[in-house]
């Protein structure tokens, strides 16, 4: 399988996440001195500018913290999807291609003999339940409250997967009219625990030690394909369509 990863974007955003974290610490430390300015001033008088900074520093630090957490979860938190997914998909045909971070908001797009897939990943390591496409976090109230406060809840991966699959169809339409794109939800953290009931979209682990997993899903889809061996190994897009798609969406050096 060929893997095309936008490493420049991934590395830049990882650095940005680290810089935001350090900047947030600086703002919090500075905020301590601004908020307690009267303690350090023997006269007890506070300049108007200091009062303004006192009112500004805490909201600024809070917003920076949220952005930092968000960026860290998406771009720096291990295990990294761009590392895990190729390992889980290594048994695919050599003709297959996985695109990482080139077609945002679609983070992972897979073209292989089994079809065209949008892969929606989750880094979370808690316990989750999906029943009739409705997601629930199985955690105590304090954990759920903290997750809501940090804005790092699991959300609804099913709705996101459907939306991104539709976006992928529009993206591919000029190059492969009528192509079908199917979504898959993949949990990259092996410590996640899932309860799955009546999900319209496959929900799997990346780790082959857990069931269901991405490797087994792709194998089952391959076995279900009808026709002879040649049709099973053929991609849903022609070489010309893939070349046209990559020319339009990937850098010339890729």
Structure confidence at residue 45 (pLDDT): 56
Average pLDDT, consecutive stretches of 10 residues, N- to C-terminus, the chain (254 residues):
96 92 80 62 59 72 84 92 96 95 98 97 94 92 75 90 98 96 97 96 97 96 73 85 96 69
What the block records as the tokens of 37 is: 């300015």
Q: Which two tokens stand for residue 132?
A: 């009739």
Q: What pLDDT, on the 0 to 100 scale, is given for residue 226?
A: 63
**C-beta of residue 225 within 8 angstroms of C-beta of residue 231:** yes
How far apart CA 191 and CA 139 sit, in angstroms, is: 14
Beta bridge partners of 48: none
Q: pLDDT at position 225, please? A: 76
At residue 233, the pLDDT reads 72
Q: Are 203 and 130 in contact (CB under 8 A)?
A: yes
pLDDT (0 to 100) of residue 114: 95
Q: What is the pLDDT of residue 81?
A: 97
CA 241, 1, 88, 102: dihedral to nearest 10 degrees? -50
Give just the sign of the alpha carbon dihedral 113, 158, 198, 139: positive
pTM: 0.87
3-state class (DSSP) for residue 120: strand
Strand order across the beta sheet in which 115-122 lies? 2-5, 97-103, 106-112, 115-122, 181-187, 203-205
Tokens of 115: 């079809």
Radius of gyration of the chain (CA): 23
**Residues in contact with 79: Cβ distance below 8 Å, sequence separation at least 6, in sequence order:** 123, 188, 189, 190, 206
Give the C-alpha distances (Å, rounded to integers) separating 2 from 12, 74, 92. 23, 23, 10
CA dist., res. 100 & res. 109, Å (int): 7
- Beta strands in the chain, from DSSP E residues, in sequence order: 2-5, 97-103, 106-112, 115-122, 127-131, 134-137, 181-187, 193-197, 203-205
Burial class of residue 120 in the structure, from the number of CB atoms within 10 Å of its CB (0-12 exposed, 13-18 middle, 19+ buried): buried
Whole-number pLDDT of residue 181: 98
10 and 75 Cβ atoms separated by less than 8 Å: yes
């Amino acid at each position: 399988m060929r893997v095309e990863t936008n490493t420049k974007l991934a590395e830049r955003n990882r650095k940005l996440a680290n810089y935001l974290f350090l900047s947030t610490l600086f703002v919090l430390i500075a905020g301590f001195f601004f908020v307690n300015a009267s303690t350090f001033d023997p006269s007890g008088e506070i300049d108007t500018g200091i009062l303004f900074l006192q009112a500004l520093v805490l909201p600024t630090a809070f917003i920076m913290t949220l952005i930092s957490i968000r960026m860290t979860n998406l771009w720096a938190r291990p295990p990294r999807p761009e590392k895990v997914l190729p390992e889980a998909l290594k048994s695919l045909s050599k003709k297959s291609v996985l695109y990482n971070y080139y077609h945002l908001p679609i983070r992972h797009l897979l073209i292989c003999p089994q079809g065209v897939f949008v892969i929606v990943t989750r880094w979370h390591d808690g316990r989750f339940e999906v029943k009739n496409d409705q997601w629930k976090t199985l955690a105590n109230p304090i954990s759920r409250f903290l997750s809501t406060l940090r804005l790092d809840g699991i959300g609804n991966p099913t709705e996101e997967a459907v939306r991104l699959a539709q976006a992928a169809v529009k993206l591919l339409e000029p190059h492969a009219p009528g192509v079908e794109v199917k979504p898959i939800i993949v949990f990259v953290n092996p410590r996640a625990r899932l309860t799955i009931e009546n999900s319209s979209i496959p929900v799997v682990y990346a780790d082959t030690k857990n069931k269901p997993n991405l490797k087994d899903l792709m194998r089952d889809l391959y076995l279900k394909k009808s026709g002879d061996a040649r049709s099973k190994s053929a991609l849903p897009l022609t070489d010309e369509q893939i070349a046209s798609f990559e020319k339009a969406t990937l850098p010339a050096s890729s």
